[in-house]
Amino acid sequence: MTEDFATIAAKRLEIIEAGFSGDENIIRAALSHASGDVRSSALSSLHRLHVLSATELSTHVVDVSEIVRRNVAQIAADFVGVDVVPLLTDPDVFVAEMAAWALGERGNTTDAELFGLIDASENALEPLVREAATASLGAIGDIRGLPAVLRACTDKPAIRRRAVLALAPFEGADVDAALENALTDRDWQVRQNAQDMISPRDGGGAVTDE
């Protein structure tokens, strides 16, 4: 029998409260609840209590609920061992975006994670995912991600804005050329980001006539 909205809401409240009181048994029992909202709340509560295991989180990477998968991706920023690369191609755009963000928040990026982000930056159908993946490539700063960031500098305006900032850890003629080109971009925020990036590289500060 499917539970109604009020019943699910009450169960979620119980799980959230248990996340503050420390009742792990109630929370863990909810990990298999029929409602994705409840399962998601259970994961968050265990995480809040610092008792969520990588195994428990990994189990829900393939959860049928996009609400759960998105929460898994978000929490996984704190779990280096949990593989969220498959979520970069999730059919739900917000799950894929969160997975891209989480990978940029981690340290010790694996090759699979890096190449997953490169592929998402270049090939994801949703601009939101390409933007998040590009930002994470900049946060990671691996030189192998530079070509994808440079290509993102010619993508849609929101992605170009993020891509210009993602050039921060990189150096070289290609980077300088991309920043110079961004100074004449038709989008004013891209131009502003490029100026903010170039000024520190030139020594920063305003130039005044003596």
Q: What is the pLDDT of residues 55-109, one digit of tens each?
A: 999 999 999 999 999 999 999 999 998 999 999 999 999 999 999 999 999 988 9
Residue 20: inside a domain, yes or no? no
Question: Which CATH number fits the domain that encloses residue 175?
Answer: 1.25.10.10
CA distances from 110 to 81, 179, 180 (A): 10, 28, 32
Residue 10: inside a domain, yes or no? no
Residue 115: inside a domain, yes or no? yes
Average pLDDT over residues 133-144: 98
pLDDT at 144: 98
The phi and psi torsions of 118 (rounded to 5 degrees) equal: -60, -45
Residue 34 CA to residue 64 CA, distance in Å, equals 10
- Tens digit of each residue's pLDDT (9 = 90 or more) over 142-201: 999 999 999 999 999 999 999 999 999 999 999 999 999 999 999 999 999 999 999 865
Residue 118: inside a domain, yes or no? yes
Name the amino acid, one letter, at 115: F
Residue 67: inside a domain, yes or no? no
Residue 145: inside a domain, yes or no? yes
Residue 39: inside a domain, yes or no? no
Residue 92 CA to residue 74 CA, distance in Å, equals 14
Residue 120's nearest CA partner among 112, 109, 132, 111 is: 132
Domain of 131? 84-201
Residue 50 CA to residue 57 CA, distance in Å, equals 12
**Domains held by the chain: number:** 1
Q: Which two tokens stand for residue 9?
A: 């809401």
Question: In this model, does residue 205 exceed pLDDT 50?
Answer: no
Task: Find out whether 77 and 101 touch, Cβ atoms under 8 Å.
Answer: yes
- Tens digit of each residue's pLDDT (9 = 90 or more) over 1-19: 467 889 999 999 999 999 9
What is the pTM (predicted TM-score) of this model? 0.90
DSSP notation for 25-42: HHHHHGGG-S-HHHHHHH
143-162 CB burial, b ≥16 within 10 A, e <16: eebbebbbbbbebeeebbbb
Residue 92's nearest CA partner among 125, 115, 121, 43 is: 125
Q: Which two tokens stand for residue 150?
A: 């440079």
Residue 27: inside a domain, yes or no? no
